[in-house]
């Protein structure tokens, strides 16, 4: 369908541009360097022949592939994000290309002795014989979600070059700052004008998701008291000891490394402390809305109880909701999931319909009036040095996009 080397070149041209987002920034996009790729994508969309290509003051990109049928067809959209996570560096990405993967260890040449191994990541064995793109061990890869962008643009290019394939109007949208929970915040759903859309932002080939976590972020601030340690008795209050007690008081078996499927968790992802003050940053996740609310209540109650025990207001907790489970918005329009499932089967893919243990722009967009299930983009081990993507999975994702366009055009 799409020339394999052309796809590889396109993907690498994206991942070698640093687009790391910044949760501490108040601008949109949160980092100026996201504009570098955003502006390049605008020019590429124009070059392949899309129409109405726009980029707004916040770097949200939209474009149109006009319908080539003479009957009324729903307008569908495909969405991906171009930022990468601030959890691990995406600067100076040096991709490795592994042809005809043999099922063994892959040396990540940027770090002595480091290997991407099926002993640690058994999903690698699904891709024996494939071409894999990996990191060199010093950075993440950026397949989340530059694989999705490469797939959408490649699919649109294919449809432009093959007008015999019938489709309705298709809208394309690329967003900044998804990795810090803001990807849909300034997305203009009305301007986008689609009846529904799909985010190409999943992982393993075949993934099709219309459930995700309810999500919140929590900042726990602990105030201590610093005095000279030689004269500290009865005076010093070490905030780091209080922080340790707070951390240990949350359920230790309800963390990311101990949960799976629909099980929720508390995740301490950043900690910064001194005697005089400590800050803990958590994310709170649960698929079940009632359990999600209980998790937030537990953190607030823990702070209240510890303050009573300490005899002063030393702990404060600020919780902000980030996104909610899109299932309630997708179930009334399940035909859009059925279309994606049919498109996968047509491509010879076994659909893996399961909840997302994470979030996607699609969850927020669904609550904004744009129902938006999530489809695989092919990458694995996102947000770290062991990230990789099979090129054949990306090629299949392109085929799924084209199939969705065809199927939608044939439906009444």
Question: Over the stretch 32-88, which tens digit does the pLDDT of each residue have?
Answer: 999 999 999 999 999 999 999 999 999 999 999 999 999 999 999 999 999 999 999
* 282 beta partners: 218, 268
Under 8 Å between Cβ of 63 and 159: no
- Which residues are bridge partners to 134 per DSSP? 96, 388
Confidence at residue 100, expressed as pLDDT on a 0 to 100 scale: 98
Spatial distance between the Cα atoms of 360 and 337, rounded to a whole number of angstroms: 16
CA distance 371 to 364: 9
3-state SS assignment for residue 212 = coil
Residue 258, Cα to own-chain centre: how many angstroms?
21
What tokens were used for 169? 């109007």
Q: Rounded CA gap, 147 and 54, in Å?
A: 21
Mean pLDDT of all residues in 283-296: 96
Is a pLDDT exceeding 90 seen at residue 129?
Answer: yes
- pLDDT reported for residue 412: 59
Rounded CA separation 405/177 (Å): 27
pLDDT(358) > 80: no
pLDDT over 80 at 360, yes or no:
no
Q: Provide mean pLDDT across the span 336-340.
A: 97
> Does 318 score more than 80 pLDDT?
yes
Mean pLDDT to the nearest integer, 227-251:
96
* Joined tokens for residue 213: 């976590």
Residue 208: what are its φ and ψ, rounded to 5°?
-140, 115
Furthest-apart CA pair in the chain: how many Å? 85
Calculate what percentage of the chain has a pLDDT beyond 90.
94
Q: Residue 412, Cα to own-chain centre: how many angstroms?
A: 33
Give the integer Cα–Cα distance in Å for 219 and 298.
Answer: 14
Give yes or no for residue 361 having a pLDDT over 90: no
Catalytic residue IDs: 83, 178
In sign, the C-alpha dihedral spanning 159, 4, 201, 40 is negative
* pLDDT band with cut points at 50, 70 and 90 for residue 350: very high
> 380-412 as b/e, with b when 16 or more CB fall inside 10 Å?
bbbbebbbbbbbbbbbbbbbbbbbbbbbbbeee
Confidence of residue 380 (pLDDT cuts 50, 70, 90): very high
pLDDT at 104 over 90: yes
pLDDT for the residue 181 = 84
For residue 261, pLDDT beyond 80: yes
Q: Is the pLDDT of residue 323 over 90?
A: no
H helical segments located in 48-188: 143-161
pTM for the whole structure: 0.88
């Amino acid at each position: 369908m799409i020339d394999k080397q052309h796809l590889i070149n396109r993907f690498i041209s994206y991942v070698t541009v640093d687009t790391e987002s910044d949760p501490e920034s108040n601008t949109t996009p949160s980092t100026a360097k996201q504009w570098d790729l955003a502006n390049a994508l605008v020019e590429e969309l124009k070059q392949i022949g899309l129409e109405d290509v726009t980029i707004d003051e916040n770097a949200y990109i939209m474009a149109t592939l006009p319908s080539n049928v003479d009957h009324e067809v729903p307008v569908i959209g495909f969405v991906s994000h171009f930022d990468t996570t601030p959890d691990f560096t995406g600067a100076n990405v040096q991709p490795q290309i592994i042809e005809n993967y043999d099922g063994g260890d892959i040396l990540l040449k940027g770090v002595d002795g480091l290997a991407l191994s099926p002993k640690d990541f058994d999903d690698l064995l699904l891709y024996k014989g494939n071409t894999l793109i990996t990191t060199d061990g010093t950075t993440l890869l950026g397949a989340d979600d530059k694989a999705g962008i490469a797939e959408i643009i490649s699919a649109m290019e294919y449809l432009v070059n093959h007008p015999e394939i019938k489709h309705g109007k298709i809208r394309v949208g690329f967003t900044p700052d998804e990795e810090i929970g803001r990807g849909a915040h300034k997305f203009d759903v009305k301007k986008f004008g689609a009846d529904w859309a799909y985010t190409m932002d999943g992982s393993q080939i075949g993934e099709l998701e219309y459930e995700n976590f309810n999500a919140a972020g929590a900042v726990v601030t602990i105030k201590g008291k610093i005095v000279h340690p030689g004269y500290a008795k009865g005076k010093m209050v070490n905030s780091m000891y209080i922080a340790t007690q707070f951390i240990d008081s949350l359920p230790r078996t309800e963390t990311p490394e101990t949960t799976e499927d629909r099980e929720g968790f508390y995740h301490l992802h950043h900690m910064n402390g001194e005697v005089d003050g400590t800050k803990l940053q958590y994310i709170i996740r649960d698929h079940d809305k009632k359990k999600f609310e209980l998790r937030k209540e537990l953190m607030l109650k823990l702070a209240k109880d510890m303050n009573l025990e300490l005899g002063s207001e030393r702990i404060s907790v600020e919780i902000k909701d980030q996104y909610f489970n899109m299932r309630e918005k997708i179930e009334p329009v399940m035909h859009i999931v059925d279309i994606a499932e049919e498109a996968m089967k047509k491509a010879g893919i076994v659909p893996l319909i399961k909840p997302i243990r994470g979030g996607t722009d699609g969850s927020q967009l669904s609550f904004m009036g744009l129902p938006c299930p999530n489809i695989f983009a092919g990458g694995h081990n996102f947000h770290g040095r062991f990230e990789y993507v099979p090129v054949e999975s990306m090629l299949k994702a392109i085929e799924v996009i084209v199939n969705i366009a065809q199927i939608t055009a044939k439906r009444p």
